[in-house]
Structure 1
Amino acid sequence: MPEYIRHPLIKADTVEQRLYQLDLAGKALAASTLVVLPTGLGKTIVALLVIASRLEKAGGKVLVLSPTKPLVEQHASFFRKVLNIPEEEVLTFTGSISPSQREDLWKSGRVIVSTPQVIENDVLTKRIDLKDVTHITFDEAHRATGNYAYTYIAEKYFDISKDPLCLGITASPGSSDEKVAEVCEVLRIESVAVKTETDRDVAPYIQKKDIEWKRIDLPAEMKEIKSLLEKVLEDRYKRLTDAGYPIYNKRYVSKKDLLMLQQRLQGELRGMPEPSVYTAISILAEILKLSHAVEVTETQGLGALRMYMERLDNEAGSKKGSKASKRLAEDLYIRQVVHRLKDCDCEHPKMERVKQIVLEQLNNKPESRVIVFANYRDTAEMITNALSEVEGIRPIRFVGQASKYKDKGLTQKQQVEIIDMFKAGEYNTLVATSVAEEGLDIPSTDLVLFYEPVPSEIRSIQRKGRTGRKHEGRVVVLVTKGTRDEGYYWSSLAKEKKMQSNMQALQKTMPARESGEYQRTLDDINDKDQVKLADFDGDKTKVIVDQREVKSSVARSLDKAGVDITLQTLEVGDYILSDRVAVERKSTEDFTGSLVEHKLFEQIANLSRTYEKPVLILEGDNLFTSRRIDPSAIHGALSSIALDFGVAVLYTRDAEDTASLIKQIAKREQTEEKREVSLHGKKAAPMLPEQQEYIISSISDIGPGAAKSLLKHFGSVENVIRADYDELLKVKNIGPKTANKIREIVSREYTG
């Protein structure tokens, strides 16, 4: 008979006692701790033990943060079942609960389980206060890097809580020393506690897990198609070299290398770049697409390649399609590839192997549950279709929420429904992308099959952790010989070994950090922050922020910089800094997107009409590369914004830079100019001339300046539309291309 945990806040006979979990909980109660424990060994139980102890000894509230809504619901259900407190005191906070409801519920809750984005928003808007929170659990703690919501919540928590303590739990913190160090720094970790499957106190609870690597040959027909793609790729590498940007060791160049070169080229666009930079960026865009096509061919199969080429062709034919996709669609070798794909009925031998392995598993153990992991949705769809043709296999495709061309995603509700049907046996095989690797309550399975290896040790560990929980499990990884599969295979193995080694080393060195070194590190960080924010002393600067801007990290950075922010739904502008200054913030992608979709000038016109001193902040480095737009069109738009609308255009590198600039402008307005922060309300109704200008400027390639010229020349919108080609050419700054465009739009028969 198993022994059960005995604690006044844990219901009797509900939680089995395991010594390694008690050991980990003890360490986590002594100091803020990162617990690294293999999947399926009860990380949530460790959190429960710490939570129960903190509620008993320190009182207050505890917060449990998990990345997804389904996992939040799962955790809350578990805590209601085992905690010896009224069920109504265990609350779930997700985006489906209104902010005002959350504000009221917060007052009565003792255990709040939430997605981090909801808590971040509620702290920013001052709906909730973390000062009475005595413990926070950060589930999937390896996410606590960069701008993820964990970073902001942890910082605010340790700043204002009267008695802070946190627990980070993960099965895979990563192999990179830098990433693990960042997680520890963000969560103010003072100790690391690691358990592995070979530890003496863990081993009795480990089920046997067989891992098999099956190597597969690429058929000759697929090699021929791959060879055609590589000829195009080789040609583009040569063109890149001719442009002055050679790629060495092309055979071993990774996507990361190519993206780093793209970043470097974008940096060279500042100032007055050479024409070769634009050429290189355009060629590099083709190389990235071709490199992906080669990878799909050798690791996924021709069905997946057909789908990719169809999307590429669709992109090339669309109005918003990039020049890179258009050029590739016209390439002779690419056309040969498309032609070969139509005639070739050969498929990747992996597909047949998947059917054999899954069928064998289900024949031997009919009650089995199987997960097949694939990197790409196209492949997941093909695998699902192939398995559905086999008697005895009942597969279901399981993907994320995003939708794209001919590929509709699943809502979180649909995901939960599929998992429930998988548990019940309605489906016995889940064909999943990375969405099933973490953050969902997927039951233990008898077989996990990798359609291809993954280079990420975190993802590999998460996938393997889906089997061997309650009984023996099996992991099979398919590897195509002589392809990127093999590179990913060795990369994943090396990273997993390095991660285990790093964790053991970190566990030994962390106590030294506890006794002074860690505090000195925090002091150093605080000193740097004080220098960086030295000019933010004095009275609190106020900024009104549009609710939708919370999705960016600018609001978070303003709050960290000591700005008193108020969130409201703004009809005009994104940030109100005084009674006369409003800021419209656009990332470079937003700016070019708004320009292409003809939304930009309406927003700018509203800003200009409503505020005396309007400001446009352009954030990011890739203004000329985020869309394939002629640089002269971008320069023309910027000129019009500054000269025709009188809007100041300012540039920033990133969200933190934007926050710093907004802070400085707001401080100048409120401190030096003694101006109040005042909201001007709704969009001003445009006057008749502005409405007329807007109608004409909505025609493609016509900006506000050209619209004014046309209206001045012809006198009315009606006369502009009725003017023939020769009459249009008489207008200043209207050339043959624009005249043709106007005539085509106003005279062509509508076919929509």
Structure 2
Amino acid sequence: MCKCMNDYIEHPLIKKNTVEKRLYQLNLAGEALKKPSLVVLPTGLGKTIVALMVMVARLEKYGGRILLLSPTKPLVEQHSLFLRNVLEIEESSILTFTGSLSPAKRAELWNQGQIIISTPQVIENDLIARRIDLGDVSHITFDEAHRAVGNYAYSFISEKYFQSCENPHILAITASPGSSSEKVNQVCESLRIESVIVKTEQDSDVVPYIHKKDIEWVHVNLPDELKKIKELLERIMDDRFKKLAEAGYPVSNPRKTSKTEILGMQKRLQSQLRGYPDPQVYTGLSLIAEIMKVNHAIEVAETQGIESLTRYIQRLENEAGSKGGSKASRRLGEDLYMRQVVHRLKGLDLEHPKLNYVKNIVQDQLQKNPESRVIVFTNYRDTADMVTCMLSEVEGISPVRFVGQSSKYKDKGLTQKQQVEIIEKFKSGDFNVLVATSVAEEGLDIPATDLVLFYEPVPSEIRSIQRKGRTGRKHRGRVVVLVTRGTRDEAYYWSSVNKEKKMQSNMKHLTGLMNGNTQQSAVETNPSLSAYDNGNNNNKTIESNTADKTGQCNLCEFDKECDQIRVIADQREGRSTVLRSLDRLNTALEIKTLEVGDYLVSDRCAIERKDATDFVSSLIDRTLFEQISNLARVYSRPVLIIEGEGLFTSHKINPNAIHGTIASISMDFGVSVFYTRDPEDSASLIHLLAKREQTDMKRDVNMHGKKSSRSLSQQQEYIISAIPDIGPKAARNLLLHFTTVENVIQASKEELMKVQLIGPKTAQRIREILESDYKA
């Protein structure tokens, strides 16, 4: 393998002897400097180096500031450290923006920064609040550009950039843009891409830097006992599909119905509830909820094992036993076949054969090379726990569980700080095996590994490529994928293989469009690269049909009064895309902390916006009427917006309860209730209300009003009712019986059971919560 390891990039803005010179990176940068480009480069071949060369070329020629966007905080910090190490720029001019930095501080630092590395959500929020402007940004790099689909912040930032900058330039980089040409086109349209530049591992100038990956597919057999459990679960599925057909929603081949098809049916039924709420639709939706749960149980049984399945069934039983649990969970808990599944699981003393394969493969790798680093990928946290526990009992193996931040029943996530600490210990060798879920696929600075082991195949070609990319970076790597015969493992295996082939074919098609076109070297045609080197261009480039950078005219451009419309929005609304849509309507937005309402459009009109799921959740947790009461008390024209579908399906609440709640909000509190399709529709309504108040009614926008304080008795009831399964009535009963909160907390299980509405399970749950150690 011939490499010029002592040949480094020379540029006035790059420190000497810090960045190795590679011809294919120079040519990629040269092509990318010509126009807004998407660069597709395999993992480990230096996409960040290409971005670096484009950044310094633009900075040297046009000045201004450079923006580098990455999806996660750890990846932002990783890029920040790299740029500080290689750039010949004052470190104080290289800034890192994440949510941990206050908006006011970001606004203050923006004008001081020359290179700003940030998460996209932060930049989106600052643009909407008009704390920053992209007019003098000479270049933006979008890292992990395959994310630029749907409502992801990349799309909005690109839109604002091309609107506000006279000489915009962007670079989008990714290793895996997706298997479909539609996905690539969507990324290109979102980011205003005009050129797609592709490098593959087969290109002659890339081959010297490629380390081979040995990929093995290991097939295992499903034990007979797990087959019997699977058969019981399939009987439940058959029964539910039969009942679904009786309800008027037949499925042609239930056993071969995919999860995507089931979700599609669920969505169609939910849309029918927009009209007359037919009881048959509720029946169908409830049955589909059961089918989804059982379908997942079958997948866990087939691909994960006994312990993972047991944990999942326990979560179902916990959901069924709680007062907020769905009818679907309760019916499954009472099902005869499900009871048989639970009984069989209790008597089993075996595990999925995958576990033994994992132990043997990892042990063999570490015995042959004790300095090895290994990553075991699994789709589920329960399996990650099980694998970590099993490997920890093997001499010479030091495993660590690596999962995301979210927490759920008996499953605590990891903070970003904990994740970073684990990665550092993995690098140093304190741990030699990382047992990880999808969180390790993208966005963290995980070192190259000698072995990557898939506990199960993944149907996504992007995830599969990212997992494989964790090995073979600095030397030859090894990938092992475990597949259970006769299960959906095999379906996922073929799905992944076919999608990867399709992606490679699409990439060849993209490059093939330029076959026969003679192009000059990118270095020769772009003076900005003369400071690096000269060389032959071996890239393949295509032109994409994207809209003109100025975009279509907004209706507000014809409305001279549009720029007068002001809306004050609560900072928590930044998590929705309503603010983005309001900005497109040329609304003057102010982002503040509102104690009452989500949006203020005049001194008398405030708006509370809830999507359908949030509306029902706030009804269940008893915060809805308090919010509505405050809204009606402070503003004479209060408005409630209920957005989206799922109002009658998200928590399986009796429709009469929802209708009664909405009637009370309207009739008792005098709050106007509006329904909208989606965030964009909500934004249009908010803008219309603001225009009516400010232009037609000539009213000002003033922020006022605070939440009303709870009385002492209300505060006491609130504390007790915060305990799961304790409703307002039960909380009052407990306080009436024990007289103080302290006495309730100190009461024994037997004493609690003397109170009306407090049964053995609820009493036991109270004691469990109060007595259990807190685990952060």
CA displacement at 1:510 relative to structure 2: 8.6
- Work out the CA distance in 1 between the residues paired with 2:199 and 2:19: 20
**1:409 corresponds to:** 413
Deviates more, 1:78-87 or 1:290-299: 78-87
**Counterpart secondary structure, 2:196:** strand
Aligned to 1:518: 545
Superposition TM-score, scaled by structure 2 size: 0.88
Counterpart amino acid of residue 596 in structure 1 = I
Tell me how far 1:106 sits from its aligned partner: 1.3
Provide the rounded CA distance (Å) in 2 between the counterparts of 1:99 and 1:391: 50
State how far apart, in whole Å, the 1-side matches of 2:604 and 2:181 are.
Answer: 48
Structure 1 distance, partners of 2:342, 2:375, is 32
Q: Does 1:636 align with 2:660?
A: yes
Determine whether 1:544 maps to 2:568. Answer: yes
Preserved CA contact (<8 Å) 2:608 2:639: yes
Deviations, residues 543-582 of structure 1 (Å, cap 9, x unaligned): 0100111111111110111111111100110000111111
Structure 2 unmatched ranges of 5 or more: 518-540, 738-754, 768-776
Bigger Cα displacement from structure 2, 113-122 vs 643-652: 113-122
SS at match of 1:638: helix
CA–CA distance in 1 between the matches of 2:202 and 2:40?
14
Structure 1 vs Structure 2: percent identity of aligned residues? Answer: 63
Counterparts of 2:514 and 2:94 in 1: how far apart (Å)?
Answer: 34
Contact 1:602 1:694 in 2 (8 A): no
Selected match of 1:209 from 209, 213, 218: 213
- 2:319 corresponding residue in structure 1: 315
The structure, 1 or 2, with the larger RCO (C-alpha pairs under 8 Å, 6+ apart) is: 2
User: 1:122 Cα shift?
Assistant: 1.4
1:230 aligns with 2:257: no
Residue deviations 1:207-249, cap 9 Å, x none? 0111111111111111001001111111001000100111122
Amino acid paired to 1:256 = T
Aligned AA (1:288): M
**Match for residue 99 of structure 2 among 88, 95, 100:** 95
Q: How does 1:439-518 map to 2 (within 5 A)?
A: 439-507=443-511, 509=513, 518=545
User: Is there any run of 5+ residues in structure 1 with no aligned partner, and where?
Assistant: 708-716, 723-742
Are residues 509 and 605 of structure 1, via their aligned partners in 2, closer, same or farther at CA, if it must alter by over 3 Å? farther
1:662 deviates by 0.6
Q: Deviations over 1:409-459 (max 9, x none)?
A: 000000000000000011100000000000000000000000000000000
Question: Are 2:16 and 1:28 equivalent residues in the alignment?
Answer: no
Q: CA 1:228–1:687 in structure 2 vs 1: closer, same or farther (change >3 Å)?
A: closer
Counterpart secondary structure, 1:307: helix
Distance 2:589 2:142 in 1: 26
Q: Give the corresponding residue for 1:595.
A: 619
Do the aligned residues in 1 keep the contact of 2:510 with 2:542 (CA within 8 Å)? no
Asked if the contact 2:266/2:285 (under 8 Å) is kept, the reply is yes
CA distance in 1, matches of 2:667, 2:714: 16
C-alpha distance in 1 between matches for 2:561 and 2:144 = 36
Instruction: Indicate which of 293, 297, 300 corresponds to 1:296.
Output: 300
Number of equivalences: 715
- Residue in 2 aligned with 1:580? 604
State the match for 2:628 in structure 1.
604
Q: Residue 175 of structure 1 contacts residue 499 of structure 1 at CA under 8 Å; is this kept in 2?
A: yes
1:23-55 CA-to-partner distances (Å, cap 9, x unmatched) read 110011111110101110001000100011111
- Are residues 379 and 114 of structure 1, via their aligned partners in 2, closer, same or farther at CA, if it must alter by over 3 Å? same
Q: Alpha-carbon deviation of 1:88? A: 1.3
Following superposition, the deviation at residue 251 of structure 1 comes to 2.4
Q: Do the aligned partners of residues 689 and 6 (structure 1) sit closer, same or farther apart at CA in structure 2, a change above 3 Å counting? A: closer
The 5-angstrom pairing of residues 124-523 of structure 1 reads: 124-507=128-511, 509=513, 518=545, 521-522=547-548
Residues 98-109 of structure 1 aligned to structure 2 (within 5 Å): 98-109=102-113
Counterparts in 2 of 1:517 and 1:386: CA distance versus 1, 3 Å: closer
In structure 1, distance between residues paired with 2:174 and 2:507? 12
Summarize the Cα distance change of 1:120–1:182 in structure 2 as closer, same or farther, 3 Å threshold. Answer: same
- Aligned residue for 2:54? 50
Deviation at 1:508, TM superposition (A): 5.1
Q: Secondary structure at the match of 1:354?
A: helix
1:540 deviates by 3.0
- CA, structure 1 residues 177+676, in 2 after alignment: closer, same or farther (shift >3 Å)? same
Distance change in 2, residues 1:746/1:260 (3 Å): closer
Q: Which amino acid aligns with 2:699?
A: R
1:144-203 Cα shifts (integer Å, max 9, x gaps): 111111111111111101321011000011112222111101111010011111110100
Q: CA separation of 1:700/1:595 partners in 2, compared to 1, >3 Å: closer, same or farther?
A: farther
| C-alpha separation in 2, matches of 1:593 and 1:14 | 54
- 2:115 aligns with 111
Q: Distance in 2 between matches of 1:518 and 1:229?
A: 50
What is the letter of the counterpart of residue 526 of structure 1? Answer: G
Looking at structure 2, the residues matched to 534 and 508 of structure 1 have their Cα atoms a distance apart, in angstroms, of 44
Q: 1:103 to 1:698 in 2, by over 3 A?
A: closer
* 1:684, distance to aligned residue in structure 2 (A): 4.9
What is the letter of the counterpart of residue 548 of structure 1?
R
Q: After TM superposition, give the deviation of residue 463 of structure 1 in Å.
A: 0.2
How far did residue 747 of structure 1 move? 13
Do the aligned residues in 2 keep the contact of 1:61 with 1:133 (CA within 8 Å)?
yes
Distance 1:332 1:15, change over 3 A: same
Q: Secondary structure of the residue that 1:492 maps to in structure 2?
A: helix
Contact 2:563 2:587 in 1 (8 A): no
Cα distance, 1:516 vs structure 2: 9.5
Q: What is the CA–CA distance in structure 1 between the aligned matches of 2:706 and 2:419, rounded to whole Å? A: 40
In structure 2, give the amino acid aligned to 1:330: E
Task: Quote the offset at 1:340 in angstroms.
Answer: 0.4
- Report the residue type matching 1:563 in the other structure: T
Aligned to 2:349, the other structure's residue is in SS state: coil
What secondary structure, in the 3-state scheme, does the structure 2 residue paired with 1:64 have? Answer: strand
SS at match of 2:135: helix
Q: What displacement does 1:536 show?
A: 8.7
Secondary structure in 2 matching 1:54: helix
Normalising by structure 1, we get a TM-score of: 0.90
2:551 maps to a residue whose letter is N
Which residue in the other structure is 1:560 paired with?
584
Letter in 2 for 1:337: V
Distance 1:41 1:663 in 2: 47
Using a 3 Å threshold, how does the CA distance of structure 1 residues 386 and 612 change in structure 2: closer, same or farther?
A: same
Whether the 8 Å CA contact 1:192–1:510 is kept in 2: the answer is no
Indicate conservation of the 8 Å contact 1:191/1:510, yes or no: no
Whole-Å separation in 1 of the counterparts to 2:444 and 2:724: 46
User: Do the aligned partners of 1:298 and 1:483 also contact (CA within 8 Å) in 2?
Assistant: yes
Code of the aligned partner of 1:589: T
CA contact (8 A) 2:13 2:88 kept: yes
CA positional deviation for 1:499: 1.2
Corresponding residue SS for 1:207: coil
Q: What RMSD over aligned residues (CA atoms) do the two structures have, in Å?
A: 3.0
Hey, what's the Cα distance between the residues in 2 that align with 1:4 and 1:425? Answer: 30
Q: 1:669-688, aligned counterparts within 5 Å?
A: 669-684=693-708
Counterpart CA distance in 1 for 2:17 and 2:46 is 16
Distance 1:382 1:222 in 2: 17
* Matched position secondary structure for 1:105: helix
Letter in 2 for 1:385: C
Distance 2:724 2:657 in 1: 11
Distance in 1 (alpha carbons) for counterparts of 2:34 and 2:759? 77
